[in-house]
Amino acid sequence: MTLVLEKKELGPSIKSFKLLSPLIARKGEPGQFVVIRVYEQGERIPLTIADADPERGTIKVVFQEVGRSTKQLGKLNEGEKVSDLVGPLGHPSEIKGFGTVLIVAGGVGIAEAYPIARALKKAGNKVVTILGARTKDLLIMVDEIRETSDELFTITDDGSSGRKGLVTDQLKELLEKGMVFNRIITIGPTIMMKAVSGLSKKYGIPTLASLNPIMIDATGMCGVCRVSVGGETKFTCVDGPEFDAHKVDFDQLMARLSQYKESEKIADHKCKLEN
């Protein structure tokens, strides 16, 4: 059982929890994730470690209430506990001096971008960040990202914050102006990462994408989180979550992500026979 120490509302249906987990707080690195179960028979929910405080023994996770399990998680209050917390899982991000690194993050992927940006900045890189969301209310952790970035651009679909448009509009403008990036890291909706990868490939810029496929056991045994990278099958939980974006089969990934949408709708429906 893991205690919820702090609960915050970051936006519509977007919450952050600070969890008491001394071991994970000491071992977790940027880019890694944990798996949470709200109750013993519940679904396993993979969530990125958005921050960690080894001295206080706490980690921070950010999630959006989308399906039944994340909505159940969101109902927990400070002082309550989750049944299970496993981690840190996955490979940490590669942190070293690359030069100028561009981070393109969207939606709740911004939470994952924060510790990566902070670590890259600490390693001596120039960090440029593009954050995107559908609307201003869904643009999270902007102040935290600003502190770790040399330059920050915000993009919203409706223009309610920053530039109106897509993250690729801003990326294309920077590239056309001659800005040089030694590495790009993209984190967020699959369609966004695909678009960023397609654009960066034209300019020959090494690009990593943090993938978010369907996941169950997160140990590499079930094979559910498989993705195709360079024609080879990889398991995101043990081989990732970051991969060479130019080798990822994004179309296959998007098809697999949509495979269970109807089942998810049924799971969200409350049976009329329940007491």
pLDDT of residue 248: 95
pLDDT of residue 15: 93
Q: For 198-204, what is the mean pLDDT?
A: 95
- pTM, two decimals, is 0.89
Cβ(20)–Cβ(58) below 8 Å: yes
Compare 260 and 156 and report the one with higher pLDDT.
Answer: 156
Q: Does position 236 have pLDDT exceeding 80, yes or no?
A: yes
* Mean pLDDT value across the chain: 90
String of DSSP letters for 145-204: HHHH-SEEEEEETTSSSSEES-HHHHHHHHHHTT---SEEEEES-HHHHHHHHHHHHHTT
pLDDT of residue 272: 43
Q: Does position 275 have pLDDT exceeding 60, yes or no?
A: no
Q: Does position 169 have pLDDT exceeding 90, yes or no?
A: yes
pLDDT of residue 249: 94
pLDDT of residue 263: 59
pLDDT of residue 273: 40
Q: Does position 8 have pLDDT exceeding 60, yes or no?
A: yes
Of 247, 207, 208, nearest to 227 (Cα)? 247
Of 94, 122, 106, 110, nearest to 206 (Cα)? 94
Q: For 35-57, what is the mean pLDDT?
A: 90
Q: Does position 267 have pLDDT exceeding 80, yes or no?
A: no
Q: Does position 242 have pLDDT exceeding 60, yes or no?
A: yes
pLDDT of residue 256: 85
Sort residue 132 into left (φ over 0), alpha (ψ -120 to 50) or beta.
beta
Calculate the dihedral angle through the C-alpha atoms of 252, 258, 260, 265, rounding to the nearest 10 degrees: 180
pLDDT in tens, 93-135: 999 999 999 999 999 999 999 999 999 999 999 999 999 999 9
The percent of residues in the chain predicted with pLDDT above 90, rounded, is 73
Q: For 9-30, what is the mean pLDDT?
A: 93
Confidence of residue 173 (pLDDT cuts 50, 70, 90): very high
pLDDT of residue 233: 93
Q: What domains lie within the chain, and their CATH numbers?
A: 2-89 (2.40.30.10), 100-257 (3.40.50.80)
pLDDT in tens, 54-64: 999 999 999 99
pLDDT of residue 251: 92
pLDDT of residue 11: 87
Q: For 3-19, what is the mean pLDDT?
A: 93
